[in-house]
């Protein structure tokens, strides 16, 4: 598995190099938020710096996607151009018709589940910073950012 520059991280994460079994402590009922790795990881790192709840995250390096479990009911109220939320435990990385994923892994910030409101705020703030050029993930060129940010 090859990790691309958009998957760099500056925080220590607990890592499980497999997607099954699901992390211990993950609530049975939850929704998921799906976003691009180049936006999602910096937003989640910012949440950890602010000591906000960050739970397990399913990472798909092949599709450059992170899938974040959040409280059940989040999908009913989620409205964001930078991500989408699905009801229930839907672990699909890509839309139908895209190549299958391989090499997915779990990372965790230590909480049981990620705070959905804090995630929405952090994704929005990070997206704004990425678009303005004030913050860029290490090793990423502006052309990659504009492509990823506008298509997430």
pLDDT per residue as tens, the chain (152 positions): 333 434 455 666 778 787 777 788 888 899 999 999 999 999 999 999 999 999 999 998 888 899 999 999 999 999 888 898 988 877 777 666 776 777 889 988 888 999 999 999 999 999 888 887 765 544 443 443 344 443 43
What is the structure's pLDDT at 63? 84
- Assigned token pair, 39: 């936006």
Of 81, 77, 59, whose CA–CA distance to 116 is shortest?
77
* Residue 109: CB atoms within 10 Å: 19
pTM score, whole prediction: 0.76
Dist CA 98 CA 81 (whole Å): 21
Dist CA 12 CA 109 (whole Å): 8
What is the structure's pLDDT at 117? 95
- Assigned token pair, 69: 């479990």
The DSSP-derived string for 44-109 is HHHHHHTT----EEEEETTTTEEEEEEETTHHHH---TT-EEESS-----S-TTSPPP-S-EEEE-
């Amino acid at each position: 598995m090859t990790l691309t520059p958009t998957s760099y991280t500056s925080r220590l994460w607990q890592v499980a190099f497999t997607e099954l079994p699901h992390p211990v402590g993950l609530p049975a009922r939850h929704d998921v938020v799906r976003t691009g790795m180049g936006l999602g990881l910096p937003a989640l790192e910012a949440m950890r710096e602010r000591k906000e709840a960050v739970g397990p995250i399913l990472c798909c390096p092949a599709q450059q996607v992170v899938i974040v479990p959040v409280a059940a009911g989040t999908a009913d109220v989620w409205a964001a151009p930078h991500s989408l939320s699905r009801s229930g435990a839907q672990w699909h990385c890509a839309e139908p018709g895209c190549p299958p994923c391989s090499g997915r892994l779990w990372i965790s910030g230590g909480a049981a589940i990620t705070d959905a409101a804090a995630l929405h705020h952090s994704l929005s703030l990070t997206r704004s910073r990425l678009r303005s050029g004030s913050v860029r993930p290490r090793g990423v060129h502006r052309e990659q950012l504009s492509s990823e940010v506008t298509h997430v």
